Amino acid sequence: MFWNFVATVFAGLGAAGLALGIRAATRQKAPRWLIPVFAGAGMLGYLAYNEYTWHTVMQSRLPKGAEVVSEETQRVIWRPWSLIVPQVARFTVLDTNSITRISSDPDVASFYLYQFERTYTDSVKEQVYLLNCTSQELVPVGDDGKANTKALRQLPDSDPLLARVCS
């Protein structure tokens, strides 16, 4: 968060420096209001760039065996650029190294899912899940090691998580 702020300020200062260069090249005939306009545009440009590259940067940091199984885009009014091209706000990663079959029922697999979310500070949530490959039911496992059947979800046939875990 702090380094994003510093980078935003420096992007604004750099863009303001360009406006100062334009004013110097035109022997001060370019309007003075150009400086704050360039500074604001530089800061907004950096913020938009940072938000759109977040997903790619986070994916490049994932270890081997981690596969993205879902992405959620977001459009918000206070980020007008996201109304044109929605940005990825969160994505879910399957740890393929953690997939294990339950010995008592080979149709059931246990695995870890990680959900990365872009907020003012990035967050990662880790959760163990059970997936019944036959009935296509996905259940989160609580901290106590018991399945939370109240949060049971039925996965569609086209779900990439189902295809990856049950293959």
Q: What is the pLDDT along the chain (167 residues), one digit of tens a residue?
A: 788 899 999 999 999 999 999 999 999 999 999 999 999 999 999 999 998 999 999 999 999 999 999 999 999 998 888 999 999 999 999 999 999 998 888 889 999 999 999 887 788 999 999 999 899 999 999 888 888 888 889 999 898 998 899 87
d(CA 144, CA 3): 38
Q: Are residues 49 and 71 in the same domain?
A: no
Q: How many domains does the chain have?
A: 2
Q: Are residues 69 and 47 in the same domain?
A: no
Beta strands in the chain (DSSP E): 66-74, 87-102, 105-117, 123-132, 137-141, 153-154
Q: Are residues 71 and 42 in the same domain?
A: no
d(CA 49, CA 67): 24
Please tell me the predicted confidence (pLDDT) of residue 57. 92
Sequence-ordered list of residues with C-beta below 8 angstroms from that of 117, at least 6 positions apart, any chain: 89, 90, 123, 124, 125
Check if the beta carbon of residue 83 is closer than 8 Å to that of residue 108: no
For residue 114, give the 3-state DSSP assignment: strand
Q: Are residues 119 and 77 in the same domain?
A: yes
Residues 33-62: b if buried by 16+ CB within 10 A, e if exposed = ebbeebbebbbbebbbeebeebbeebeeee
Q: Are residues 82 and 161 in the same domain?
A: yes
Q: Are residues 55 and 69 in the same domain?
A: no
Which two tokens mark 67? Answer: 């596969």
Please tell me the predicted confidence (pLDDT) of residue 139. 94
Q: Are residues 17 and 52 in the same domain?
A: yes
Q: Are residues 149 and 87 in the same domain?
A: yes
For the whole model, what pTM was predicted? 0.81
Domain ranges, residue 16:
2-59
Q: Are residues 50 and 87 in the same domain?
A: no
